[in-house]
C-alpha cells in the first residue's frame, strides 16, 4: 500500500501542474483579448478611456509585456492629450462663445453710406 501512495503523488502533482499551466494560458489569452479590445476602443470616434485603461491594466497584471501594451498605452495618452487640447472647442474648430448673463443689446450704428450722404450738402446751381 505504501508503494501505491508513492506512485499516486507524482501523478497528482503532474495533473495539478497541467491544470495550473492551462489556467495560466487561459489567463494570458483573456488578457490578450482585453488588450485587443482596448486598442479597438481607442480607435473609435468617442473612446471610453476608463474602459481602455482597465483593459490595459488587465494585460499588465497578466504579465503581458509586448509591443501591444506599449502601443495601447501610447494611444491612450495621445487620446487624452487630444481631448484636453480640444476641450472647449466647437466641432468647426472655433472656440465656443461664453454664455452671456443677460440680454444685452448694443445700439445699432448707422450705415456708412447714410453717414456719408448726411455730411454732403446739396450743391447749388446757378
Q: Render pLDDT for 29-70 as a digit per residue (tens, 0 to 9).
A: 888 898 889 988 888 888 889 999 989 998 888 888 889 899
> In this structure, is residue 95 part of a structural domain?
no
Give the pTM: 0.53
Q: Render pLDDT for 70-94 as a digit per residue (tens, 0 to 9).
A: 999 999 999 998 888 877 765 666 6
> How far is the C-alpha of 109 from the C-alpha of 121, rounded, in Å?
22
Q: How far is CA 18 from the centre of its chain?
A: 39
> In this structure, is residue 116 part of a structural domain?
no
Count of domains observed in the chain: 1
Q: Domain of 64? A: 2-86
Phi-psi region of 34 (alpha: psi -120 to 50; beta: other; left: phi over 0): alpha
> In this structure, is residue 31 part of a structural domain?
yes
> In this structure, is residue 48 part of a structural domain?
yes
The three cell numbers of residue 61 are 497584471
Amino acid at each position: 500500500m505504501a508503494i501505491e501512495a508513492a506512485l499516486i503523488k507524482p501523478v497528482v502533482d503532474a495533473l495539478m501542474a497541467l491544470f495550473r499551466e492551462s489556467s495560466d494560458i487561459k489567463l494570458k489569452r483573456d488578457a490578450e483579448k482585453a488588450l485587443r479590445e482596448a486598442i479597438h476602443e481607442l480607435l473609435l470616434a468617442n473612446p471610453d478611456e476608463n474602459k481602455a485603461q482597465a483593459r490595459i491594466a488587465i494585460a499588465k497584471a497578466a504579465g503581458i509585456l509586448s509591443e501591444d501594451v506599449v502601443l495601447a498605452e501610447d494611444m491612450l495618452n495621445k487620446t487624452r492629450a487630444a481631448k484636453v487640447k480640444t476641450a472647449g472647442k466647437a466641432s468647426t474648430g472655433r472656440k465656443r462663445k461664453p454664455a452671456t448673463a443677460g440680454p444685452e443689446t448694443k445700439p445699432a450704428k448707422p450705415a456708412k453710406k447714410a453717414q456719408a450722404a448726411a455730411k454732403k450738402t446739396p450743391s447749388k446751381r446757378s
